[in-house]
Amino acid sequence: MKKAIIGGALLACAAAQADVCVDGKVPAGNIIVEGVSNGVVRLRQDYRDSQPWFYWGFRVTGAEGKTLRFEFTDPYGGGPVSACGPAVTRDGGKTWTYPAEKSCSRRHFVHTFAADEKETWFYQTFQYYVTQWDEFLARHEADRGKVFVTEELCKSRKGRSVPCARFGCITKEPKYRVLYTSRHHCQETTGTYVLEGAVGAVFGKDELGAWLRENVEFFVVPIVDYDGAVEGDQGKGRKPHDHGRDYGDNALYPEVAALKRWIAARAQNRIDVMLDLHSPWVHGQYNEWIYLCMGPSEENNGRIRRWSRLLEEMQDGSLRYRTSNNIPWLFGWNGPWNYGSGISCGTWAWNSLKGICLATTYETPFAVSNGQVVTPDKCRALGATTAKVLRRFLTDPQAGVESAKREPGVFVFDWVKELGKYASLHAGVAKAVEFVKSRDVEKLKDGSYPIDGEKVVATVRKVGLVSAEKAKPVKSADAYELHIPLSGPEVFAVNGKDYGVGPRQFVLFEPSATPHAVGMTDDPLRHTSIRELVIRIR
């Protein structure tokens, strides 16, 4: 077997398949190839200067008419392949498909090359190349100087020109100012498509576009980690910290320092809304639906909830968003333990910018969102909806303030099927399923309800989660709780609009006088000693 280092990627070609070549020589390429033999390509992602993560991108040439199996040898996180398999392009990123959706796992996929398929590019997700931003602006060249102006944010650490732009009301003092950013983690490409859709609304010939151009000045940095986006880095968790944790007093990266100077000079540090676009982990719970992140400021969280209700109400794309999918502060990864390496853009914006009324983050999945396949156009549609939400949020202070509409029986529809999988394994779960199926949970009152000789207690009370690390109570709303006696640690099936936790979540607690959050899982019976199933319904 012949091996060579070319362009930062380890190439491997076996003598028996010398005509097949796998390498990272594509835009934003990232791969280490360990071997190619007997129709199997063994490979893994290149972390470079980042923490273990999942991004990869490579090309295959010389495989016309062949079927190859691609096996990722790095087991981190269960494997780096999404639910749809690789995003594949044969035309340099103009179009994307998921041809291996039915022949993949988290650690492998299979691809059959057509007889004329001379070169194919495979990525962990569809890309937004740095050249695409220029192509987007070029489509609106006639509006340059009137609806938008481009600037150089700074030179990157490797001497590249980092773009930024202002859109909308740029020729006079605007009524509102909005900051949009994406790619603090350079591999999170779905967020840049959302950003493009949100900004694109300013060119609309409709009434919304006219209002945006008259009233809002948008400050936009589409690709913050520009070097990483060009070179195909992981970006997330760079050492000593990444761009998304660089908003302290002494910025490590020139892009972050320049962004702060730009907002100070051009906007006089006055921003009304700040939206940072991200993508989550590659697969699994929370990572296959759109969500917004709550933070330590309850005032800002109230604004996020209001925005969330409007987004859910006004959405018209196929990537369905639910307010119940948002992730609360001090839940799972979302707490101070995740920000120990630095300060985020949202935290800086909320604490430092004058007059700010909302600072939040979208997390847009890479491949699947609430059962729908994610595509560039669907992400743009989410951005277009965001523009509509922005206008209503800014002009109608009462919009979204009302309580989120109730969804009776959400638990029944979302979880009975899932819990039913465990009925044969645990009698208590079977009883819980039957109880919920047989009753209108909206009509339950305080008191005891018999289940096959046992008791289920429905109560109405204030319930607070407690962080294991900080032991800081989290405020929560009144909720019905159905307690089904089992054995072992409590398992909370948490549900409810405006409660802030997704409808398909188990939150695990160790039994103690004061429960402490210890983790999340989509498989409660992986933890065999279950003491009590608690179904919480807002």
pLDDT digits 0-9 by tens, 424-460: 445 555 666 666 666 665 566 666 666 666 555 555 4
Q: What share of the chain is helix, strand, coil (3-state, %, to 5)?
A: 25, 30, 45
The full DSSP string for 193-238 is HHHHHHHHGGG-SSHHHHHHHHHEEEEEES-SSHHHHHHT---TTB
pLDDT at 501: 31
| Per-chain mean pLDDT for the chain | 80
List pLDDT tens digits, range 131-166. Answer: 999 999 999 999 999 999 999 999 999 999 999 999
Range name among 220-229, 254-263, 480-489 with the lowest pLDDT average: 480-489
**Helices H, strands E: what count in the chain?**
10, 27
Q: How confident is the model at residue 3 (pLDDT cuts 50, 70, 90)?
A: very low
pLDDT at 84: 95
The answer on pLDDT for 500 being more than 70 is no
List pLDDT tens digits, range 357-369. Answer: 999 999 999 999 9
The answer on pLDDT for 520 being more than 70 is no
Range name among 139-148, 339-348, 489-498 with the lowest pLDDT average: 489-498
| Percentage of residues of the chain with pLDDT beyond 70 | 71
The span from the CA of 205 to the CA of 211, in Å, is 10
Q: How confident is the model at residue 398 (pLDDT cuts 50, 70, 90)?
A: confident
List pLDDT tens digits, range 454-473. Answer: 555 555 443 333 332 233 33
Q: Where is pLDDT greater, at 283 or 180?
A: 180
Conformation bin of residue 193: beta by default, left when phi > 0, alpha when psi is -120 to 50: alpha
The answer on pLDDT for 5 being more than 70 is no
The answer on pLDDT for 479 being more than 60 is no
pLDDT at 408: 28
The span from the CA of 367 to the CA of 190, in Å, is 9
The residue type of 351 is N
Mean pLDDT of 357-382: 95
The dihedral of CA 162, 167, 172, 173: what is its sign? negative
List pLDDT tens digits, range 152-201. Answer: 999 999 999 999 999 999 999 999 999 999 999 999 999 999 999 999 99
The span from the CA of 265 to the CA of 300, in Å, is 25
Say if strands 532-537 and 478-485 run parallel, antiparallel, or are unpaired: antiparallel
Which pTM does this prediction carry?
A: 0.76
List pLDDT tens digits, range 238-256. Answer: 999 999 999 999 999 999 9
The span from the CA of 140 to the CA of 132, in Å, is 13
pLDDT at 315: 93
List pLDDT tens digits, range 205-240. Answer: 999 999 999 999 999 999 999 999 999 999 999 999
The dihedral of CA 266, 149, 182, 258: what is its sign? negative
The tokens for 147 are 């609806």
Closest Cα partner for 364 from 415, 294, 293, 307?
A: 293
Q: How confident is the model at residue 535 (pLDDT cuts 50, 70, 90)?
A: low
Question: DSSP letter at 241?
Answer: -
pLDDT at 467: 30
Q: How confident is the model at residue 274 (pLDDT cuts 50, 70, 90)?
A: very high
Measured in whole angstroms, how far is the alpha carbon of residue 36 from the centre of its chain? 33
The answer on pLDDT for 302 being more than 70 is yes
pLDDT at 456: 57
The answer on pLDDT for 77 being more than 50 is yes
Question: DSSP letter at 35?
Answer: E
Measured in whole angstroms, how far is the alpha carbon of residue 500 from the centre of its chain? 16
Mean pLDDT of 288-308: 93
pLDDT at 377: 97
pLDDT at 411: 29
The span from the CA of 49 to the CA of 62, in Å, is 31
The full DSSP string for 6-34 is ETTEEEEE-GGGTT-EEE--STT-B-EEE
pLDDT at 508: 29
The span from the CA of 508 to the CA of 54, in Å, is 26
Buried b (16+ CB within 10 A) or exposed e, 400-428: beeebeebeebbbebbeeebeebeeebeb
The full DSSP string for 507-526 is EEE--SSS--EEEEES-GGG
Mean pLDDT of 26-42: 97
Question: DSSP letter at 349?
Answer: H
Q: How confident is the model at residue 336 (pLDDT cuts 50, 70, 90)?
A: confident
pLDDT at 44: 98
Strand ranges inside 404-468, DSSP E: 447-451, 454-462
Q: How confident is the model at residue 291 (pLDDT cuts 50, 70, 90)?
A: very high
The answer on pLDDT for 410 being more than 60 is no
pLDDT at 317: 83
Question: DSSP letter at 334?
Answer: B
